[in-house]
Amino acid sequence: MPPVPELVARDEFTYEIPRDTARGMRVAGILYSTPELLSGVRDDPSLEQLANVATLPGIVGAAYAMPDIHFGYGFPVGGVAAFDLDDGVVSPGGIGYDINCGVRLLTSRLGVEQVRARLSPLLDQLFRAVPSGVGSKGGHPVSASEIDEVLAGGAHWAVERGLGVADDLRCQEEGGRMATAAPGEVGESARKRGLRQLGTLGSGNHFLELQAVDEVYEPGLARALGLTPGSVAVMLHTGSRGLGHQVATDFIQRMDERLHREGTVLVDRQLSCAPIGSDDGAAYLGAMAAAANFAWANRQAITHGVRTAFESVFSTPWRDLGLEVAYDISHNMAKVESHATPAGERRLLVHRKGATRAFPAGRPEVPEPYRPFGQPVLIPGDMGTASYVLSGLPSALGRSFGSSCHGAGRRMSRHAAVRSFRFDQVTRELGERGILVRSASREGVTEEAPGAYKSVDQVVRAAEGAGLTRRVARLRPLGVVKG
């Protein structure tokens, strides 16, 4: 394995892999972190991956990594890179296999004690209403004739079929649908995988969590979001399931074959890519947008399941319980955006893999209710500590193309976590903190044990210190449904 690139500290929260560190680097690599977090990545191949990203054609500015960086496919998880539309590339490894994996936050009028009194039956009902686990099925199956409508319509399709209301669409990134979707570019295998997975969580780090609003730092935005101290929120984390994974698989193979025909050799074959304007590049972006729409439809269908479960347990309509969509954010996407560069305002294709938009107040992409404050940024922690709501800052535009971290970030692989933690130990320790767990498998808990993750407090401190985001609220877990 090549030596891990050396980092040069530029300020308290900014570390650089200089452009001349590795052969072929066109720009520098920039990591936002803290000394405490750095101890977990200095010998990690994710830094080599960051340097490799900096070699890709048409890259603009720098290759960026967020404080939750860890090893991924091609790009590190937590990687951000922007490419010129004329001579740049699109790389599926820079988006990830779980296209439009994202986080949705629902608020409620329920207080912590009201939920604690019915926490166990509520988790049981949520576990039944929202299927989870490897290959989970049975949520809201769609027919082969309907799948194109899902891929084109996203969350709008789900709302039109009674799985939500029009107000749910106001506060989703892209309004819950990418208009650039090209369902015809999604292959048959991907379509088949999606037919029975709509409305399901899946496995891995996906979850459905009941949370207490523990502390508010930015009252204006917290109030706009519906977050009040002592109230209960619901956070869900999932994406495009097997459909998105298959889209990535299909196009990585297609781009590999293209590069082989051309005789192009990359520093890392996992960075397989195609020019943005090529037939392969355009086809991938259309398929990616379609898979993203499937993910929004999936989270919308899960939202319906959550509301149904609450109605059953509390014998009250969900509207009276105040189960409103506060925000829905994506963290495995590539989007064309306008950004200021030394050469002036430019349209760029921004890859965010395990990273989210963090746009400031006033940007038109921020939903109107939050535009005076900046885009909400949802940061799940591990199931034993806390999650955060942040908001984007103006300085993020110049420092990361308006991007921030997407979660606590793994410090231990899933295999290592299974070797290190026992199911009984994890559930007992969580229970001692008043946190109940429902899981489709024992591995679903041990793989995601709190000890397998970085400190979310440190990650948020680094993002805030780097000028990417500011804290809005902290949420503490009460109960969690795991895959």
CA 113, chain centre distance (Å): 30
Contact (CB, 8 A) for 240 and 97:
no
Q: How is residue 395 written in tokens?
A: 């300085």
Tell me whether residue 339 is one of the annotated catalytic residues.
Answer: no
For residue 409, give every residue at least 6 positions away whose Cβ sits within 8 Å of its Cβ, in sequence order, or none: 66, 67, 68, 69, 70, 77, 78, 354, 453, 454, 459
- List 70, 206, 331, 406, catalytic entry: 406
Contact (CB, 8 A) for 78 and 406:
yes
Q: Rounded distance, CA 168 to CA 171, Å?
A: 7
Query: What is the set of active-site residues?
Result: 406
